[in-house]
Amino acid sequence: MSIIDWGWSSAWTERFSPHRLAGLAPARVVDGSRGVYELETDSGRVRGELAGRLEYAADSALELPVAGDWVAATPTDPALIVHVVERQSLFTRVQEGGQRQALAANIDVAFLVCGLDRDWNPARLDRYLALAMDAGVRPVIVLNKRDLCPDPGAIHAMASALAPTVLLSCTLDDPTPLLGSFVAPGQTAALFGSSGVGKSTIVNALLQEQAQAIGETVCQHTTTSRTLIRLPLGWLLLDMPGLRAVGVGGGVTDAFADVTALAAQCRFTDCSHNGEPGCAVENAVAPERLASFRKLQREAAYQHRREDASAARAEKERWKQLHAAMKKMPKKGR
């Protein structure tokens, strides 16, 4: 096996060339988080550790490696990770304190998995769609456990209006053709969704083996780390732990393309679709969907303000340090 089996392509070769000149080798992060990683390299699976300078030079945790990343590492075992190669996409969520957390890098397709037993929650799906749009990753909605739902047709119609949708049951169907049609060989997909919706069950069905542990009880989080898995069809799939909080920091207008299109016809450009005259949205969009839109829009706007403020603080700090350094420099006589 080589890194080509893990999604390496000519586009990456180009991005990587400066690191190659520095004697570093490319590796893909297939597992792990802060501190200890599992890497796939041209000489197989190795353990990876962060080089001190990468850790200390990082302005935020977003700059550290995450599952799916391509990194430049020493050709040793354990390998020392020196750089994170510029990402093609980064899937993030906003945590409760307002910090953005990286969930997965270099994902081509996001499978947003919902369980049709008791997890079906359109407002939560709106959140996941916004995360995918914010990351610039193509979303595919996966409605799993159709065997436990008396009328999956209505939900399927509702979801299909938002993004390409697959209706699935791991006990009745083979997910390989259903999900495989959305991912080309060499591409990477990831499974997102609450705990217990069946993400690891889907992985095992695609692999036709019990590689991932499956939950016995729905309330516990069975998968605890992110793992990139190579499927027989030649594409890669990242199994994610279930997410409790799904804070949104952007992507809302794209996730609500229907509302956005109608809003262009409101009489006032700053219409809040809340009783204004000439509003084109309020009577055309279901009240729950409009409420979900408003809530996520407020949340994303708040996050933008918070990130702008913190970027401004960092900029000010940089200038202060530069200024202090300049003052210390000896004045040369001319």
Ligand X SMILES: Nc1nc2c(ncn2[C@@H]2O[C@H](COP(=O)(O)OP(=O)(O)OP(=O)(O)O)[C@@H](O)[C@H]2O)c(=O)[nH]1
273 makes contact with Zn ion (CB under 5 A):
yes
| 126 close to 149: Cβ distance less than 8 angstroms | no
CB of 279 to Zn ion, least distance (A): 3
Q: Is 223 in the site for Mg ion (CB under 5 A)?
A: yes
Q: How far apart are CA 177 and CA 167, in angstroms?
A: 12
Quick one: what does residue 169 bind among ligand X, Mg ion, Zn ion, none, with the CB cut-off 5 to 8 Å set by partner type?
Answer: ligand X
Q: How far apart are CA 164 and CA 169, in angstroms?
A: 17
Minimum distance from CB of 139 to ligand X (Å)? 17
Determine if 215 is a binding residue for ligand X (CB under 6 A).
yes
* CA dist., res. 257 & res. 251, Å (int): 10
Check residue 200 for interaction with ligand X (CB under 6 A).
yes
**Residue 200 touching Mg ion (CB under 5 A):** yes
- Segment interacting with ligand X (CB under 6 A) among 42-50, 78-86, 143-151, 298-306: 143-151
**Cα Rg of the chain (Å, integer):** 23
Query: What is the SS3 assignment for 269?
Result: coil
CB 273 within 8 A of CB 263: yes
SS3 label, residue 260: helix
Binding residues for ligand X restricted to 63-122, rule: CB under 6 A: none
Residue 235, φ and ψ in degrees, nearest 5: -105, 170
Answer with the entry of ligand X, Mg ion, Zn ion, none that 279 interacts with (C-beta below 5 to 8 A by kind): Zn ion
With contacts defined by CB under 6 A, name the span among 119-127, 176-184, 188-196, 288-296 that binds ligand X: 188-196
Element (H, E) at 139: strand 138-144
**Binding residues for Mg ion, per CB under 5 A?**
199-200, 222-223
Give the interface with ligand X as residue ranges (CB under 6 A).
144-145, 147-148, 169-171, 193, 195-201, 214-215, 221-223, 241-242
